[in-house]
Structures are given as C-alpha cells and as structure tokens.
Amino acid sequence: MGIVALPSFPVVLVTVDENVMTAAAFHFYSFDPPHVMVGIRPQALTYQLILKKHEFGINIPTTEQLDIVQTCGAISGREENKFQKTGLTPNKGRVIDSVIIEECPVSLECRVVHEVQFEGSHRWFIGEVVAAQVDEQYSRDQALMFWMRQYREVGKVLLEVEKRK
C-alpha cells in the first residue's frame, strides 16, 4: 500500500465526509497490516465527523501546497467550505464514503478500528488503511513536514508559526 510513501513527520490533510482539516499529529501505527493514527482536538468538527462516520482520509500535501495547508488549519469547516476556499477538488473515496483530495499525491482511505481516550489536547484515532492512491511521480522528499513549530521540507525550514493559545 501507499504507506511507505509517507515521510517521517508529514503534515496531513484529514478528510471526513466533505470536510478537510490540517493535522500535524499523525503517525504510523503498524506497517503490516497497514494502520495509521491521527490526533484530533475534540472541539474540531473533524473529531465529531470521525465519531459519526468511523472513517477518514489521510491526504499528503506537497511543499508547494503550504498556503492550502495553512488555510485548512486556520479556518473552521463549521464556518466555511475549505474545498471552495482553497480550490481543492474532493473525490469520492474508492472504499470509504468520505472524500479524498485529488491534488494530493498520496491519499489513504482509513476505517477507524480504535479511538484512544487520552487526557491530553488530542484524541487519537487508529485507522486501518483500506485503500491507497499514490502518484507514480511522487517522492517522499516532496512532502511538507512539521515539527518544532516549523513547516519544513527535507533539509529546509519553510515557515515558523506562533504557538497556539
């Protein structure tokens, strides 16, 4: 599956139903069988949608999509349609009922197999990867990464962000 195409600390665009949000709390859970985990704040619309649908898409943007990632992380899906605001194209998943993003070179369709109730800022959802689409021209070094409050590409800091209050 497409799981080997993911960088170490990718920023992801999480899709559920027809909503999209930016998440930096993402990691591998298992390579065989393929499972991923994503951390979502309980106050986010995406959290409520995952609880309702028990599925999500993980879409890996490239470094050229930094503006889109920032927009999807700065506004709420309760207030605006982020697909319309960013010009992203929602495509119906092959297996899940939620959409994936056409412009992202890697999209993973996931079914929730476990929710981790943790007393922290995020709740973690473990998803079984049930389908993957990977652009043949995609290379992991094209991925946008995030750690230490900085957006990065391999070997370069692209943007440092202020800490959320």
Angstrom distance (rounded) from CA 34 to CA 45: 26
Provide mean pLDDT across the span 27-55.
95
The answer to the question of residue 134 being in a domain is yes
**Letter for the amino acid at 62?**
T
Q: Are 16 and 53 in contact (CB under 8 A)?
A: yes
Range of the domain at 38: 2-160
Tokens describing residue 126 = 């473990």
pLDDT of residue 164: 66
Residue 137 belongs to domain with CATH number: 2.30.110.10
Give me the numbers of helices (H) and strands (E) for the chain, helices first please.
Answer: 3, 12
For residue range 123-138, list pLDDT tens digits in order. Answer: 999 999 999 999 999 8
Tell me the pLDDT band of 149, cut-offs 50, 70 and 90: confident
Does residue 165 fall inside a structural domain? no
Residue 38 neighbours by CB under 8 Å, 6+ apart = 12, 14, 23, 25, 26, 56, 58, 124, 125, 127
> How many structural domains does the chain have?
1
Domain-embedded: residue 147: yes
Domain-located, residue 113: yes
21 has pLDDT over 60: yes
Domain assignment present for residue 76? The answer is yes
In a domain, 42, yes or no: yes
Could you tell me which of 99, 116, 124 has the C-alpha nearest to residue 16? 99
Task: Select the more confidently predicted residue: 155 or 38.
Answer: 38
Task: In whole angstroms, give the CA distance from residue 30 to residue 86.
Answer: 32
In angstroms, the CA 121 to CA 130 distance is: 27
